[in-house]
Amino acid sequence: MYEIFEKILDEKGLRTADVVKATGIGASSFSDWKKGRLPRIDKLLKIAVFLNVSIDYLLGRKENPPADVPELTEDEIEMLRLYRQASQLAKMQAFSILSESADDKKSNVLNA
């Protein structure tokens, strides 16, 4: 199953170090995985979200990743990394700002 992970990395032009940095998962988890020990489900979920694939695909249970899920941009990846490092208060503030911005955008579209 680690081979599928490596294949996805290759297709996306990424390295394991990129996934470690973006997800906060320790490099030892990937070494263990390479040796045959699966990461915990919470780590698999983080990896799948970062790589924009399903856990089923990551584990080899499905042939292809979902085609309708857009890939994260570099800015989105950086925002996710910063969000994960932020305090709970900062996360709440960021969520509030983004929610207000999205509401303003919806309102502008409806009023146009």
DSSP, residue by residue, 33-99: HHTT-PPPHHHHHHHHHHHT--HHHHTTSSSS--TTSPPPPHHHHHHHHHHHHS-HHHHHHHHHHHH
**How many CA atoms lie within 13 Å of 27's alpha carbon, on the beta-carbon side?**
5
pLDDT of residue 25: 94
- The model's pTM: 0.57
Q: What percent of the chain has pLDDT over 90?
A: 38
Q: Does the pLDDT at position 52 exceed 60?
A: yes
Asked whether the beta carbons of 51 and 12 are under 8 A apart, the reply is: yes
